[in-house]
Chain A
Amino acid sequence: MADGMNVGVNLEAFSQAINAIQALRSSVTRVFDSLKDGMKNKETLEGREKIFITEFQDNLQSVNRDLNELERLSNLVGRPSESHPLHNSGLLSLDPVQDKTPLYSQLLQAYKWSNKLQYHAGLASSLLNQQSLKRSANQMGPSAKRRPKVQPSALVLPPQYVDDVITRIGRMFPDMTIELFRPNGTSAVLLVTLGKVLKAIVVMRSLFIDRTIVRGYNEDVYSEDGKLDIWSKSCYQVFQKVTDHATTALLHYQLPQMPDVVVRSFMTWLRSYIKLFQTPCQRCGRYLQEGLPPTWRDFHAFQFRHVPPVMERNTD
């Protein structure tokens, strides 16, 4: 059933404890059997009584021994881990129809796989960074020591750390306010309000940005039941386009070892949208193309461009 979920359990002691339970059971059965059989047929009454009492005592002592052994082993077994790493999805394991829908075991495998992938990607990126392809000298040596310690698993960060990073980033930009919510478990959901232009909802997975959706300033971010609405698209075509660009941006800014740098770069890129309606396109000089203002922001130079209906790669 829950393989590997109860990592705090000493499996060796567990199997020994099961054997000890069986031994205890058999010794208790022996006690009651000897009581049931009564006194054996011997010559004298004293002899019979003595033998009966000795046998009874022996049986009780073996019961005592087995019980002590069991208690010792049960202390070694340990408790199953209290905090479910998968929170509410652990409740899926209670579904008894295991053959038809092996949902929980598949879920566990998927999580293990993605964690391993993240770990390997981190290792690979640290190795690749050592073989730097840049031609300029004198950059990696001394700064490598001052670089922050690589988090072995940046996926399981304490929520307080995430809160701190987000507040620090929020303070960097005066015209951008970031509010943090945790409506579903430990993943943070940020509501970024950029001036009076747009509101962006950013769903995070510890410090990694998972997905984002951008809506207009006058659109409602809450759904009918008062919770943050993270699914419905914007009513306006311009913000649907900006959502697509933001998704491209969060795929572009990737740095597995330093996720806070990633979040900062993404916010800096998003902040350039404060002039979404004010700036003409840098390429054609006009404000509108097919009714849309220039919505594309270059990732390095933050230039404003229109996106033509047929996507052509901007080779800069």
Chain B
Amino acid sequence: MGVTCVCQVPVAEGKSVQQTVDMLHKKLEQLGAVKQGSFWVDCETYHATGNTSGQPSKLLYVMHNSETPLSCMALFEGGPCLTADVNFDVLMLKLKSHFQNAKGHKVESRGTRYRYCDFLVKVGAVTMSSSARGISVEVEYCACVVPGDCWNLIKEFMQSFLGANVPELPSVFATKSEGLYAPSDCMDTMTQYLELFSKVRKQQVIPGASVR
């Protein structure tokens, strides 16, 4: 478990999502990265029902990551978060009276996983209701655990295959650049994915009432 950075790559001019993903794969393979299987990250939204005061109900996001296939992460945006067993999904079903699943809002990112020296790169296509919306790139530098130390290193690596699309320092790092990166429960990674998915959701104008 190292320092992870998740960013969104804009789709290249005149190309589709899949073609841009293929371009990135080719660049990685040129660098010398080795394919190591596939990955997926998904996120489901639940509305908290029973809120009578008229405020927008809080949204609970339940996320899964193929890196930790036996866990399930639940987070409120900017709020408390928890890591649980996969049976948490079944628990959410039982809590149907309190949390309603927003079926159309499930976002997921699927793609290939590459390993280059001590880096793990995951390039995935973000889809929402089976329509491709964007590209997510996750870069993890496994050898280091302090984000403040190796941010420049990760940025240089991302520049080598993303070109000019290198992101800024993620907000989760700004608060604890000297501290240890989420030691084992990858909560910081999930927070970054959540931000990305929210941005992707906002990009598409959803007709009708939207809670966001």
Residues of A within 8 A of B (CB): 196-197, 216-218, 235-239, 275-278, 280, 286-288, 290-293
Contact = CB atoms under 8 A, between A and B. Distances in A.
B1 interface: yes
Contact of B118 (A196, A238, A275, A286): A238
Contacts of A278: 149-150, 152
Contacts of A218: 1-2, 145, 183
Contacts of B119: 291
B146 A196 contact: yes
B174 interface: no
Interface in B118-160: 118-119, 142-146, 149-150, 152-153, 156-157, 160
A218 B119 CA distance: 15
Contacts of A280: 152
B180 A238 contact: no
B118 A237 contact: yes
How big is the B interface, by class? 20 to 34
A207 to B, nearest CB: 31
A150 B64 CA distance: 65
17 contacts: A197-B144, A216-B142, A216-B145, A217-B145, A218-B183, A236-B118, A236-B143, A277-B144, A278-B150, A278-B152, A286-B156, A287-B153, A287-B156, A288-B156, A290-B117, A291-B32, A291-B119
Contacts of A291: 32, 116-119, 157
Contacts of B145: 196, 216-218
Contacts of A239: 143
Closest 6 CB pairs of A and B: A291-B117, A277-B150, A236-B143, A277-B149, A287-B153, A287-B156
A74 to B, nearest CB: 66
A152 B182 CA distance: 52
A290 B142 CA distance: 15
Given A238-B117, A277-B146, A287-B152, 10 more contacts: A197-B149, A216-B143, A237-B118, A238-B143, A239-B143, A277-B149, A288-B157, A291-B116, A291-B118, A292-B118
A290 B117 CA distance: 8
Contacts of B180: 196
A216 B2 CA distance: 10
Contacts of B1: 218
Is the contact region of chain B dominated by helix, strand, or loop, or is it mixed? loop
B117 A292 contact: yes
Nearest to B31: A291
Nearest to B3: A277
A23 to B, nearest CB: 77
A288 B153 contact: yes
Nearest to A217: B145
Contacts of A293: 153
B119, B153, B180: which has the most chain A beta carbons within 10 Å? B153
A275 B32 CA distance: 26
A277 B153 contact: yes
Contacts of A287: 152-153, 156-157
Interface string B1-37: 1100000000000000000000000000000100000
Contacts of B117: 237-238, 290-292
Nearest to B116: A291
A124 to B, nearest CB: 42
Interface string B39-52: 00000000000000
A291 B116 CA distance: 7
Interface in B177-211: 180, 183
A217 B179 CA distance: 13
Nearest to B2: A218
B143 to A, nearest CB: 4
Contacts of B144: 197, 216, 277
Interface in B156-171: 156-157, 160
Nearest to A238: B143
A277 B157 CA distance: 13
A313 to B, nearest CB: 24
A196 B145 CA distance: 7
